[in-house]
Amino acid sequence: MLLSTITAAQAEWNQWRGSQRNGISSDTTPITSTFPKDGPPELWKSESIPSDHDGGHSSLVVSGDHLFLPVVWHTANPSEQRLVDGEVLASLGHRGTNLLGPELTAKMEAARHDMPRLRGTALDEWARTWVKENFSEEQRLILGSWAEGRFKQGKQAIDLAILDQLNKPPKKPFDSPAELNAWLDELNLDPSVRERFIKAVPNTIKSAEDVVLCLDAKSGKTLWKFKAEGHPTGRTNASTCAVADDRVYAVLSTHLYAIDANSGALIWKTPVSKNGKGSSPLYADGKIYLLEGTLMCVNAADGQILWTNKETKGSNSSPILWKTSDGLTTLVCQTNNNLTGIDPVTGELRWKTEGGGQSTPVAQDDHLVILSSTKGVALRCYQAQPNAPPKTLWTHDFLSSRYSASPLIHGDEVYLLGSSRHLCLNLADGKVHWESQVESTISSPVLIDGKLVIMDNNGTFLNLLKATPETYTPLGRTRISAMWCPTPTPWQGRLIIRKKDHVACYDLREGGNGQ
């Protein structure tokens, strides 16, 4: 046997955000209070594992000495067909501009054509200033970096009107290069634009397998690899699996799978929609709760669907269980547009209130904290009420990105380490202890040994902060070049990080030298 039997309650980091779904590691191994000059020692790296458009953004979980990672594993197959999809258009600079509106979009394009001849920092400053003076706060948050990038390309950027034309192919895919070229002839493109577009369209068509990997946490070696026929989902699949009672429960492109954690053998599978999943399954008391388009509850023993709640819709935020002082346990979900409380036994709606978004709620006793993309909600703390919906205790309002890290509660404080800020507030009243503006990422924080471990700047840097309300205290910062969405996995004083094409393990132990 590879694994000893580990229940959900005993496991250290057996599902998304840990066994308690709160981002707090129960590992008592002392970790470093700063990083060495060259960063923490790398202990191992795995075989090649695709990510992003070719493998998604799932995080790893650990059970015993073994790591588990679900991957929708894409393969590019040579083909006569030509597919014009979002990945192709994005590589050429296309973005939806509905938020800007036609007038501001036209103004931006005119400024790009008429901008002064600048280079380097002068160009960077000109682009930042133009965006700051012309975009609203929301527009800057969503499209500011993209707009600055177009200014830096100058006249080399493809006009947005042309990109909009290219975003409406009559066929997906075209049957041959000749068919693609015939369509391009109709568009009468500038030869240089046509050449760039043809180069961007791959001469391959992607297929996909649903894969679950089991890695040795001590060495990074692959112990087994489960494979099943899958469906291409691109970069959208970011669901993290759950491990309990020697089973791995993984949501991939076509099914929810139950897999033997010792052998990688399939136990059962239940169909899910063929869209990329960001929501991670919650395992509790022999049941699996999954926000997969609609909310469902599955029997962990045999994969039978016990109930569905079709009114609770979403696919990115992950559900949690909230146990309050009145003895009630409620399944809490951030849907696309609100926050809902569901009876975990029957699936019936208990309450609905303001919220909605893609980060995962976090609870402590009678307090529930969410980060919402709904205007006027942002970071909010709810307090449980007997026989009634929770009441708003406090709100810390700011413009929150659609994709944001999940908050963390530690002691009497709430930490938000995302949405372009590092923020600490009092749990009881929302009083701000400290706040710092940063280039943050989607990855959620992890608390280990009283220290906050955070990815910043789209996964470029690994940061270490002291978890204290007294003052903002950075302890270390090192370049790590990780993926920007997956959350690091703590294991016995080590940190498991998913990178672009592999998984790596770093030694964070106090006095650790990589041995």
Burial of 393 by CB count in 10 Å (0-12 exposed, 13-18 middle, 19+ buried)? middle
Do 70 and 225 meet the contact criterion of CB atoms below 8 Å apart?
no
Query: 115 in helix, strand or coil?
Result: coil
Question: How many C-alpha atoms does 102 have within 13 Å on its Cβ side?
Answer: 2
- pLDDT higher than 70, residue 147: yes
Q: What pLDDT does residue 431 have?
A: 98
Give the chain's length.
515
Do 312 and 295 meet the contact criterion of CB atoms below 8 Å apart?
yes
Q: What pLDDT does residue 276 have?
A: 60
Burial of 308 by CB count in 10 Å (0-12 exposed, 13-18 middle, 19+ buried)? middle
Spatial strand order in the sheet of 255-260 = 242-244, 247-251, 255-260, 266-271
Domain spans of the chain, in order of start: 42-75+206-507, 86-202
Q: How far is CA 435 from CA 318, 411, 416, in A?
A: 26, 18, 9
Identify any residues that bridge with 293 across adjacent strands, giving them in sequence order: 314
Q: What pLDDT does residue 268 have?
A: 99
Q: What pLDDT does residue 484 have?
A: 87
Q: Average pLDDT for residues 91-110, to the nearest whole number?
A: 95
Percent pLDDT > 90 in the chain is 84
Q: What pLDDT does residue 11 have?
A: 44
- pLDDT higher than 90, residue 387: no
Q: Say how many Å lie between the first and final Cα of the chain, rounded.
A: 26
Q: Average pLDDT for residues 414-418, to the nearest whole number?
A: 94
Percent pLDDT > 70 in the chain is 96
d(CA 477, CA 474): 8
Q: Give residue 336's pLDDT band: very low, low, confident or very high (50, 70, 90).
A: confident
Q: What pLDDT does residue 2 have?
A: 38
In the numeric block, which tokens belong to residue 300?
Answer: 């962990």
Q: Give residue 136's pLDDT band: very low, low, confident or very high (50, 70, 90).
A: very high
From the list 388, 497, 377, the residue with the least C-alpha distance to 430 is: 377
Ramachandran area for residue 321 (φ above 0: left; ψ -120 to 50: alpha; else beta)? beta
Identify any residues that bridge with 330 across adjacent strands, giving them in sequence order: 322
The average confidence (pLDDT) of the chain is 93
Assign a CATH topology to domain 42-75+206-507. Answer: Methylamine Dehydrogenase; Chain H (2.130.10)
- CA angle, residues 320, 327, 351, in degrees to nearest 5: 55
Q: What pLDDT does residue 402 have?
A: 64
